[in-house]
């Protein structure tokens, strides 16, 4: 403690203790609530079909409720950092969560989900710092990130892993800008997603659904916009791209391949990054872990560039890496027999008696 700056400042100590307790509370409550809501979700048929089994979508509801509860309780008790627009972001994210929940229940069209998300984003973008033109570009980017996170929820552990990494990256960027409220919100969200991952790792017992994936993507994207507000458009685009590199890579791969194949971009299929890595022989946890490492790499470059510790030219390496990954994995067939991880596992075992 003696070597920590401002460690004798009571306000600083309260802020540190709040951050630790809020993150721990969010992790534990999300893990407990996701498990508790699993049975009601199954009874209400709020499920997603994965590998011939029903996975309840209780994880998203748990993440949304706990994140809002913990952050709101901190503000109500007066121990949370300054708001920095957090209340507006939470209200808008709650609206997106309800929209996503309606999509889970009634299978709303994507254009309806996109329009609702765009309206919510337009209500919280800081136009005073970005300007109207750049603010509208930010709205479009938020919608793209939200749907990118929604697309990652097809694989066990993937959306949660990428969400945790990206939320921590945005928290670091916000901390650089002394936006303690945004940084605290991102830390709580990352902790809640970690608690969710306890049940979502392969084989998943719960999933985020549109409710959780869209709201998490919304909070992360808007938080990143707040952190970059007032900076140049081109450099900000590079930092935001690096922070969400895996989300961007998955979206570009899926949209590009479907367009080239003459398929509708809204039609689902086993053509995402994780699907193609599985075709190369990786296990489900291995694919999620590898993509999580990729997200971490891009996030570190984005945070260091935002803080000014590395030049903006390093962001082009992230762009180049994403393009290489997209081109390489686009060559992997998504139909046909999957490569076996081990021929000893894939073939029947013969046991010799005597």
Q: Can you give the pLDDT at residue 345?
A: 43
Residue with token string 């952190």: 227
Find, among 69, 289, 319, 297, the residue nearest to 192 by Cα: 69
Cα-Cα-Cα-Cα dihedral of 134, 140, 141, 145, to 10°? Answer: 160
For residues 47 and 42, give the distance between their C-alpha atoms in angstroms, rounded to a whole number: 6
Q: Report which of 138, 146, 321, 144 is spatially closest to residue 219, judged by C-alpha positions.
A: 146
pLDDT band at 97 (very low <50, low <70, confident <90, very high): very high
The angle subtended at Cα 112 by Cα 256 and Cα 334, nearest 5°, is 30
pLDDT (0 to 100) of residue 1: 39
- Which residues on neighbouring strands pair with residue 49, listed in sequence order? 54
pLDDT, position 317: 97
Mean pLDDT (the chain) is 90
DSSP line for 53-64: EEEE-HHHHHHH
CB neighbour list of residue 295: distance below 8 Å, 6 or more residues apart: 161, 162, 165, 166, 245, 246
> Are the C-beta atoms of residues 314 and 298 closer than 8 Å to each other?
no
Longest CA–CA span in the chain (Å) reads 81
Residue 10 is predicted with a pLDDT of: 64
pLDDT of residue 347: 41
């Amino acid at each position: 403690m003696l070597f920590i700056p401002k460690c004798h400042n009571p306000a600083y100590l309260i802020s540190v203790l709040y951050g630790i307790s809020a993150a721990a509370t969010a992790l534990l409550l999300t893990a407990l609530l996701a498990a508790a809501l699993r049975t009601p979700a199954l009874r209400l048929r709020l499920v997603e079909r994965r590998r011939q089994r029903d996975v309840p979508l209780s994880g998203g509801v748990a993440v949304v409720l706990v994140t809002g509860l913990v952050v709101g309780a901190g503000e109500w008790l007066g121990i949370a950092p300054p708001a920095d627009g957090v209340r507006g972001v939470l209200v808008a994210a709650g609206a997106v969560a309800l929209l996503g929940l309606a999509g889970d229940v009634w299978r709303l069209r994507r254009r309806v989900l996109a329009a609702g998300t765009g309206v919510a984003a337009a209500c919280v973008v800081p136009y005073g710092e970005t300007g109207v033109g750049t603010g509208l570009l930010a709205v479009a980017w938020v919608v793209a990130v939200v749907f990118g996170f929604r697309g990652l929820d097809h694989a066990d552990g993937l959306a949660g892993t990428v969400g945790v990494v990206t939320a921590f990256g945005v928290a670091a960027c916000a901390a650089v800008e002394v936006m303690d409220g945004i940084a605290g919100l991102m830390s709580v969200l990352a902790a809640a997603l970690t608690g969710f991952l306890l049940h979502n790792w392969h084989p998943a017992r719960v999933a985020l659904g549109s409710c959780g994936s869209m709201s998490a993507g919304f909070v992360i994207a808007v938080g990143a916009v707040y952190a970059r507000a007032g900076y140049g458009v081109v450099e900000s685009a590079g930092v935001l791209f690096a922070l969400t590199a895996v989300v961007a890579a998955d979206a570009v791969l899926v949209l590009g391949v479907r367009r080239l194949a003459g398929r509708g971009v809204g039609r689902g299929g086993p053509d995402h990054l994780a699907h193609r890595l599985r075709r190369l022989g990786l296990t489900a946890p291995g694919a999620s872990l590898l993509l999580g490492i990729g997200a971490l790499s891009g996030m570190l470059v984005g945070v260091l560039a935002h803080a000014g510790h590395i030049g903006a030219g390093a962001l082009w390496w992230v762009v180049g890496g994403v393009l290489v990954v997209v081109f390489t994995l686009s060559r992997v067939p998504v139909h046909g027999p999957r490569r076996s991880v081990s021929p000893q596992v894939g073939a029947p075992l013969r046991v010799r008696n005597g």
